[in-house]
């Protein structure tokens, strides 16, 4: 089947539809956070759903909460899922007052996500069940409430062992909201925005509104107002009665949403009954055009190559809990690497991630599932897919269709149905059709890792864009034989692994290393994997491929490949190389510290002149007399100096670096990379310095010096001013330095932290994937000379004093301010 290529001439949609304000009885807030004041119990609790159950002995906490990240790590848990206790039963309860004046209102409870198999009771009445831990769900609990009195909500979660291939977290790990709405109100995700026509002069805004309640009332009207990025009303339309179709407005000289200018408009939708305001919601959206042809992807008429990364949902030492600042920092680091798109592997992301991508100008491939009906692990989502798959997929699209950052819908990743010639194509078409029933302004895709199965059977032709996982050698003629018209994207690429600051000599391809670390010379990976250079080269040879999504941008909890186990092996525990318990795949480690590979991608994806050099320069007593030195750069030439003496200037693209390479279906055992420059240098203590040249002029440089003995601690907070909101974070980099302030790259000193004043310790970490040290602690060992302290703001203005100490080292102290 040859499907036409998808052309999306519409741009649109935006942030989650949240009720922002409305006329309500005095003191009744329409939309409010429901995160504070819960009680929690890990384990079974007979009768805990009952309103009168005694939970006075339970722990009190605020949401979001991930019980598993608290640990402890234990070998009895599965390392493929982080070696943490994410499975079992957990109960959450909250007592809350409902004002008497709320009688007659619709009271709605919304969970942005609960991991997983949530069951909800209100005042002992069963309200509903939602199995998928990544999906937002809402209940109208009005009929179960006592107005003018105390009420009790209870939530039971039951994550199962072997239910996922990575760390999912556990608990109510995303935000919860309570809404008081009039009987006539906008439904959940009830505003759809499209921009069917866009030019420099006029932008058309098409809006469809779905209401709950008595929509036959002839006195109803809906007012739409478009607010520009600078806060001005630029269009409005009032519609008498209720229409199920689209209503159109025009905006003069619309400002485009783009990667470098992510302009966001706001649509304010007000529902009126006989002139009285019944409901009001706000949705952000953007004007932008998407075009997908066999040859290229165009954003606002401009060709864009996808420079993407796959990102799991966890926030490293914080676990799976949603935190806006944590996600913002993650995305900012990715943008610095040159990333312009993320793939939400392999599940719907949080509202916060999509809001941030809208604001930062990052395209999103929004992915629904890692599995359909055929299991990858015994207790996975496949158990629920037949009953819930359609609803979960459509709910994801309904929730996210108003985000301008979302430009592709992925219906799955490495789905095992791709091995069935009949079921695979049928299922792919079914899911594709489900998406198109909700949204036709964006294409569908799916990540295929089996070659050429889904292409031969026609499964890949059932979707708009074929996602190719780890098949760079099939780009061009091989895949075009099956898909002459459909576009292709590298939906998962490279899978190179490394440990920050670790270098193994000689440079050679190996499966695992006795240190349980992986060399940062950026050549090591599992059998399907290859160095980033191979992907760069194949994309250059095949410019019609849209680009790539690297596996992965950040390290993540679980899947400690190349250690511990084999992917997709049901009943498989990955504990053979304990304590390896988290990913080595990231270009950035679990704490957000860039690895060398970060700079390799930066050298290909950014234009501001840069040069990076590796390895460190502390090799005394190592037994290695000669050290391979590599430079990553976007400059034309690089010159290496050792203790001020030039070791020669080399030209990028001309002077090749031979890398040992071996992966599936690759016939050679090496790759001559034009993307790295290298020298073999006799070791002598001192300094190595690289200088990058463009047009013969020095434009960038970097130097690494031999460090002396560890002498002091250096604290470097990423932010010194925080919001006093109870959730804002400062990530404090902790460096072990010698007396001259040089990083000690081999240091592993234990650092003790003291945080006082208006904040607390949220977590600690060091990026080491092979340690069982807890994340929630007041101390941490350095790894490759560094570790991380994450400080959480309190809810009152004031100062936070952060002090770090270690035996034999000069301490350091910083102060943070809350406002």
CA distance 517 to 589: 13
CA distance 207 to 245: 8
Query: Which residue is listed with tokens 């902790």?
Result: 734
CA distance 699 to 606: 14
DSSP structural state of residue 184: S
CA distance 789 to 814: 12
3-state secondary structure of 5: coil
Is 544 part of the annotated catalytic residue set? Answer: no
Number of alpha helices (DSSP H) and beta strands (DSSP E) in the chain: 8, 48
Q: List the structure tokens of 544.
A: 């019609």
CA distance 188 to 135: 13
Q: Which of 352, 367, 417, 492 is catalytic?
A: 492
Is 373 part of the annotated catalytic residue set? Answer: no
Q: Which of 49, 194, 352, 414 is catalytic?
A: 414
Angle between helices 324-337 and 596-605 (to 10 degrees): 60
Using alpha carbons, list the distances in angstroms from residue 84 to 78, 573, 576: 7, 13, 16
CA distance 468 to 454: 11
Q: Decide: 554 and 330 in contact? Cβ < 8 Å.
A: yes
Q: Which residues contact 696 (CB under 8 A, 6 or more apart)?
A: none
3-state secondary structure of 169: coil
Angle between helices 423-438 and 382-400 (to 10 degrees): 30
CA distance 71 to 317: 11
Angle between helices 324-337 and 351-360 (to 10 degrees): 40
Helix, strand, coil share of the chain (percent; to 5): 15, 35, 50
Q: List the structure tokens of 265.
A: 């408009």
Q: What positions carry a catalytic annotation?
A: 414, 492
């Amino acid at each position: 089947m040859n499907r036409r290529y998808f052309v999306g001439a519409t741009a649109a949609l935006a942030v989650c539809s949240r009720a922002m304000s409305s006329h309500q009885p005095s003191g009744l807030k329409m939309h409010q956070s429901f995160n504070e004041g819960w009680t929690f119990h890990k384990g079974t609790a007979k009768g805990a759903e009952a309103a009168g159950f005694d939970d006075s002995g339970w722990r009190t906490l605020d949401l979001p909460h991930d019980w598993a990240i608290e640990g402890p790590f234990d070998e009895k848990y599965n390392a493929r899922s982080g070696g943490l206790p994410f499975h079992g039963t957990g109960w959450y309860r909250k007592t809350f007052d409902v004002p008497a004046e709320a009688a007659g209102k619709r009271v709605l409870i919304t969970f942005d996500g609960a991991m997983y198999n949530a069951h909800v009771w209100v005042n002992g009445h069963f309200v509903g069940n939602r199995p998928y831990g990544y999906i937002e769900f809402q209940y109208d609990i009005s009929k179960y409430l006592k107005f003018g009195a105390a009420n009790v909500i209870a939530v039971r979660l039951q994550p199962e062992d072997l239910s996922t291939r990575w760390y999912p977290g556990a608990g109510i790990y995303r935000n919860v909201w309570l809404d008081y709405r009039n009987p006539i109100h906008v439904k959940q995700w009830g505003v759809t925005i499209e921009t069917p026509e866009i030019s420099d002069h006029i932008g058309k805004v098409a809006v469809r509104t779905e209401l709950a309640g008595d929509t036959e009332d002839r006195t109803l009207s809906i007012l739409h107002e478009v607010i520009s990025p600078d806060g001005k009303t630029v269009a409005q339309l009032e519609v008498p009665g209720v229409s199920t179709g689209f209503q159109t407005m025009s905006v003069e000289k619309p400002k485009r949403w783009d990667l470098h200018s992510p302009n966001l408009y706001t649509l304010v939708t007000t529902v009126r009954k006989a002139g009285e305001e019944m409901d009001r919601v706000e949705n952000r959206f953007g004007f932008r055009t998407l075009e997908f042809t066999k040859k290229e992807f165009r954003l606002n008429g401009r060709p864009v190559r996808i420079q993407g990364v796959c990102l799991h949902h966890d926030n490293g030492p914080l676990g799976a809990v949603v935190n806006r600042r944590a996600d913002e920092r993650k995305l900012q680091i990715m943008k610095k690497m040159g990333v312009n798109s993320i793939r939400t592997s392999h599940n719907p992301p949080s509202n916060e991630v999509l809001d941030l991508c809208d604001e930062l100008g990052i395209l999103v491939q929004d992915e629904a599932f890692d599995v359909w009906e055929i299991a990858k692990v015994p207790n996975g989502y496949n158990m629920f897919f037949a009953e819930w798959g359609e609803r979960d997929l459509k709910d994801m699209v309904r929730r996210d269709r108003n985000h301008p950052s979302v430009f592709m819908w992925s219906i799955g990743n490495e789905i095992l149905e791709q091995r069935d010639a009949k079921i695979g194509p049928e299922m792919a078409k079914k899911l594709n059709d489900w998406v198109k029933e909700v949204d036709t302004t964006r294409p569908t895709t799916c990540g295929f890792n089996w070659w050429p199965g889904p292409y031969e059977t026609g499964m890949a032709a059932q979707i708009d864009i074929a996602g190719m996982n780890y098949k760079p050698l099939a780009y061009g003629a091989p895949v075009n034989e099956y898909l002459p018209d459909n576009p292709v994207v590298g939906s998962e690429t490279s899978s190179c692994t490394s440990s920050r600051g670790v270098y193994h000599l000689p440079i050679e391809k190996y499966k695992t290393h006795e240190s349980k670390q992986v060399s940062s010379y950026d050549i090591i990976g599992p059998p399907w994997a290859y160095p980033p250079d191979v992907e760069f080269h194949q994309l250059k040879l095949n410019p019609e491929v849209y680009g790539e999504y690297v596996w992965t941008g950040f390290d993540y909890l679980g899947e400690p490949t190349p250690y511990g186990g084999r992917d997709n092996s049901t009943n498989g525990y990955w504990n053979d190389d304990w304590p390896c318990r988290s990913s080595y795949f990231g270009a950035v480690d679990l704490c957000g510290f860039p690895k060398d590979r970060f700079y390799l991608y930066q050298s290909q994806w950014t234009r501001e002149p840069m040069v990076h050099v590796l390895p460190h320069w502390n090799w005394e007593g190592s037994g290695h007399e000669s050290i391979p030195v590599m430079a990553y750069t976007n400059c034309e030439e690089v010159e290496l100096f050792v203790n001020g003496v030039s070791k020669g200037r080399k030209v990028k693209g001309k002077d090749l670096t031979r890398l040992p390479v071996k992966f599936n279906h690759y016939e050679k055992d090496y790759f001559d990379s034009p993307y790295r420059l290298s020298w073999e240098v006799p070791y002598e203590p001192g300094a190595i310095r690289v200088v990058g040249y463009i047009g013969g002029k020095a434009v960038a440089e970097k130097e690494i010096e031999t460090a002396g003995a560890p002498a002091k601690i250096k604290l470097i907070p990423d932010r010194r001013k925080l919001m006093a909101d109870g959730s804002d974070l400062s990530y404090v980099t902790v460096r072990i330095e010698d007396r001259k302030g040089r990083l000690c790259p081999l240091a592993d000193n234990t650092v003790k932290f003291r945080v006082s004043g208006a904040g607390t310790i949220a977590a600690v970490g060091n990026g080491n994937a092979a340690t069982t040290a807890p994340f929630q602690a007041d101390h941490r060992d350095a790894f490759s000379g560094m570790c991380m302290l994450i400080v959480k703001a309190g809810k009152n203005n004031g100062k936070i004093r952060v002090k770090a100490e270690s035996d034999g080292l000069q301490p350091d102290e910083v102060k943070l301010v809350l406002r």
